[in-house]
Amino acid sequence: MASKRALFASVLLAACAGAPRFPLQAPLTRDTDQALLPEAPEEYFSPFAWDGANYMLFHPLARFFAVDPAGPAANVNALDEVPDSSWFENRMGAHDVNAEYVARGSCGKKVLDPGMPDGSWIIDKGKDNGANPGFRVNVPGLGKFMLKTDPETEPDRATGATSIASRIYYATGYNSPCDSVVYFDPKLLKLRPGLTVTNNEGKTWAFDQKALDAVLKRASHRNGLVRMVASRWLDGKPLGPFRYEGTREDDPNDAIPHEDRRELRGARLIAAWLNHFDSREQNSMDVFVRAQPKAKTGPGYVRHYLLDFGDCFGSVWADDEISRRLGHASVFDAGYLFEDFVTFGSVERPWERAERRGGVFNYFSARDFEPEAWRGEYPNPAFVRMTEQDGAWMARILADFTDELVAAAVHVGQYEPEAERYLISTLISRRNAILRRYLGRVSPLAHVHGDARGLCATDLARRTHTVPNEALSFRAYVYRGTPLSNTAKPRFRHVAPPDVCLDIPHSSFAPSLPPGAPERYVVVDITNGYAPGPLRAHLYDLGDRYDLVGIERPTELKRPE
Cα distances (Å, whole numbers) of residue 359 to 92, 248, 316, 356, 502: 31, 42, 12, 7, 50
| Shortest Å, Cβ 64 to another protein | 8
Cβ distance to another protein smaller for residue 205 or 332: 332
Helix locations, 201-261, DSSP H: 209-218
| Shortest Å, Cβ 140 to another protein | 36
| Shortest Å, Cβ 19 to another protein | 5
Cβ distance to another protein smaller for residue 98 or 198: 198
The strand order across the sheet containing 445-450 reads 445-450, 454-459, 499-503, 491-492
3-state secondary structure of 517: coil
Cβ distance to another protein smaller for residue 1 or 65: 65
Radius of gyration of the chain (CA): 26
Cβ distance to another protein smaller for residue 3 or 247: 247
Cβ distance to another protein smaller for residue 190 or 367: 367
Cβ distance to another protein smaller for residue 104 or 243: 243
Which of 82, 8, 43 is closest to 393 using CA atoms? 82
Per the CB < 8 A criterion, the answer to whether 505 and 479 are in contact is no
C-alpha of 149 from chain center: 26
Residue 338 burial (10 A CB sphere; 0-12, 13-18, 19+): exposed
Cβ distance to another protein smaller for residue 53 or 197: 53
| Shortest Å, Cβ 505 to another protein | 26
| Shortest Å, Cβ 28 to another protein | 6
Cβ distance to another protein smaller for residue 328 or 437: 328
| Shortest Å, Cβ 118 to another protein | 36
Across 470-509, the runs of DSSP E, i.e. the strands, are 475-480, 485-486, 491-492, 499-503
Which of 537, 454, 443, 441 is closest to 502 using CA atoms? 454
Provide the angle, in degrees to the nearest 10, between the axes of the packed helices 157-171 and 262-274. Answer: 140
Neighbours of 273 (CB within 10 A): 24
| Integer Cα distance of 196 and 178 in angstroms | 26
| Shortest Å, Cβ 271 to another protein | 21
| Integer Cα distance of 371 and 430 in angstroms | 8
Which of 365, 417, 413 is closest to 164 using CA atoms? 413
Give the total residue count for the chain. 561
| Shortest Å, Cβ 522 to another protein | 16
Cβ distance to another protein smaller for residue 73 or 457: 73
| Shortest Å, Cβ 367 to another protein | 15
Q: Tell me the residue type at 207.
A: F
| Integer Cα distance of 44 and 46 in angstroms | 6
| Shortest Å, Cβ 184 to another protein | 30
Chain residues that interact with another protein, rule: CB under 8 A: 14, 18-23, 25, 27-28, 31-33, 35, 45, 47-50, 53-54, 58-59, 61-62, 65-69, 71-72, 74-78, 83, 200-202, 247, 249-256, 319, 321-322, 325, 331-333, 336-337, 340-341, 344-345, 348-349, 352-353, 549-550, 552
Cβ distance to another protein smaller for residue 42 or 470: 42
